[in-house]
Each structure stands twice: as C-alpha cells, then as structure tokens.
Amino acid sequence: MPNLVARAEFFFGGTSGDVAVLKGDTNDVTELVLSGIFEIDHQGFFMGPDGGYSPKNAFSRGFVETKLTCNLLSVQRDVVYGSTQHDFPLIISNIRALEKLVPLKKGESLLSLVRESQGMPCIRLSHALFIVGHLACPHLLQELHTHLHATEDATMAWPVQDELRDALSHAASTHYVSPLPVFDIDSMPIWAANYHRLLCGAIVQVQFALLHFFIKGDRKSIFTSSLREMCVLRAPACGPVNPFKRVRQGSQHSIESNKKSRLVSIPL
C-alpha cells in the first residue's frame, strides 16, 4: 500500500463529518476509500440488525443514532489469505498518518480509528444503521423498494427484538434503515437476519472511508470509519457447540413454539 498522506486531505464541514478526500486541482471532490483484506474479530462484534442497542442502556441516545460496528484484525491463519498479514501494518500506519492531518491543539485528546483487541491492533469499522429520509440516495431507495416495495415497509420490517419495536416505529417517521453493503461468497447481498452468522469471524475484503468529528465540550478529536462495501472471502469457521446449550435451546424452542416470531431468517 502506498503512502497516502501526500495524496490526501480532509474536506471539512460535510454532512457526515469531515471526510478524507484525494487532493486535486479540480472542483470535484473524490472521497478517499481505503481497502484491505481482514478477519472480523469475534470480540466487539455489534453488526447484528440492532447494533447491540438497548433502550435500557442507551445513555440518552436514540435508536436512530445506532451504528453497526466490528473490529477488523489481520488475517490470523489461512492458507490463501494469510499473506495479507504483511499489508496490515502498512494500513495501520497509513491510518495513523492520515489522522495527523488534523493536528491536535493544546488540551485536546484523540480517539483513533486504530484500537486494540486481545492485545492486537485492530481497525474499528462502523456503519450508520439509519439515514435521514430526505438524504437517502436514489440507489438505496431503489434497493429498499426492490426488496420490500416501500421504504417505510423496509424500515418497519427490519428484524429487531420486540422491545425495540416502538423505537423502530419512532425512527421510521423520520429515517430509513440503511442495510449493510455486504455480500456473501457468491456476491449475493446478505440479509440482516444473517449478519451475525455470516460475518462474525469471516475473512472479508473491506472498503471504507475515514471520517473525523470534533466534540467541543470534551475537546476530543474523533476518527471513525464508514463502511462502503464488504465482500466475504471465507465464511466463518463453525465453532464447537455445547451439547447442554443445544438441549436448553431446544427446550426453549418447544415452549415458545406457539408464540409469534418477530425474527425471520430469509435464506440466501
């Protein structure tokens, strides 16, 4: 991966924060998109349909502010993609160098996109679950209409737990759900009900943008990512199943078999 700092700068004041762009002499602004092959960490995986949101532990955040997040690690053990481990330190160094394009002033602190998981460096990947209705792009609207005939229906049909139904209904009055731009090994879109099963622990090719925010009250400079596209290259390995857990789940299923299910797994 080349040194990106000489070719990049931050475009300040965008609708989603300051965004890293390519330097150019024209009036056209081209977003800088970083790409690489990674392994999705099992720890810190919050890319389920609800992003781990809980109204009981929301810290004054609304459901519309939810972001789906996960940690990207270097590929650990894989015959085909293991060689990409050598690219990971270069990606990390480029991200840290790009973050220095926004210098800190005295008394300010930094929250980097580069984090740590299980003693290893990782990249925190994010995707906003909702987009304001009038800002939704035509391409997204077309996809939502294709799948569920109307954007309102697509949002209300989003698979969340019963305790989030009211929050989802409230969000749908002003926002649309923005599905993850993720594709399986066969290049088919992955449905929300299958996010955890097909992504957690998978080896993926990811494209993401680098964004910057500044919180004046905390004097904190925050860098985050915005997922542009993710393609699964290697499905997650199936881990061992606790037989006692299997029996308990089976018993629970038989007890609740007469209840109406809110979560429907749609086959790919």
Question: For residue 13, is it within any domain?
Answer: yes
Up-side HSE of residue 92: CA atoms within 13 Å toward CB? 18
- Whether the pLDDT of residue 247 is over 70: the answer is no
Give the model's pLDDT for residue 136: 54
- Give Cα separations from 165 to 41, 161, 194 (angstroms): 29, 7, 19
**pLDDT tens digits, one per residue of 15-43:** 667 899 998 766 778 899 999 999 999 99
What is the CB neighbour count within 10 angstroms for residue 58?
Answer: 13
Range of the domain at 185: 5-129+178-255
> What's the pTM value of the predicted model, to 2 decimals?
0.81
Question: For residue 89, is it within any domain?
Answer: yes
**pLDDT tens digits, one per residue of 144-184:** 444 433 477 789 999 999 999 999 999 998 899 999 999 99
Question: For residue 264, is it within any domain?
Answer: no
Residues 198 and 196: their CA atoms lie apart, in Å, by 6
Question: For residue 19, is it within any domain?
Answer: yes
Q: Are 221 and 104 spatial neighbours (Cβ–Cβ below 8 Å)? A: yes
**pLDDT tens digits, one per residue of 97-152:** 999 999 888 889 999 999 999 899 999 999 999 988 755 555 544 544 444 334 77
Q: Are 144 and 39 spatial neighbours (Cβ–Cβ below 8 Å)? A: no
Question: For residue 140, is it within any domain?
Answer: no
> Based on the structure, what is the number of domains in the chain?
1
Question: For residue 261, is it within any domain?
Answer: no
CATH number of domain containing 55: 2.40.50
Both structure tokens of 81: 């993609």
Residues 170 and 188: their CA atoms lie apart, in Å, by 31
> What is the 3-class SS of the chain, one letter each residue?
CCCCHHHEEEECCCCCCEEEEECCCCCCCCECEEEEEEEECCCCCECCCCCCCCHHHCCCCCHHHCEEEEEEECCCCCCCCHHHHHCHHHHHHHHHHHHCCCCCCCCCEEECCEEEECCEEEEEEEEECEEEHHHCCHHHHHHHHHHHCCHHHHHHCCCCCHHHHHHHHHHHCCEEECCCCEECCCCCECCHHHHHHHHCCCEEEEEEEEEEEEECCCCEEEEEEEEEEEEEEECCCCCCCCHHHHHHHHHHHHHCCCCCCCCCCCCC
Question: For residue 173, is it within any domain?
Answer: no
The candidate with the shortest Cα–Cα distance to 199, out of 215, 218, 216, 185, is 185
Residues 223 and 99: their CA atoms lie apart, in Å, by 7
Question: For residue 163, is it within any domain?
Answer: no
Residues 62 and 194: their CA atoms lie apart, in Å, by 24
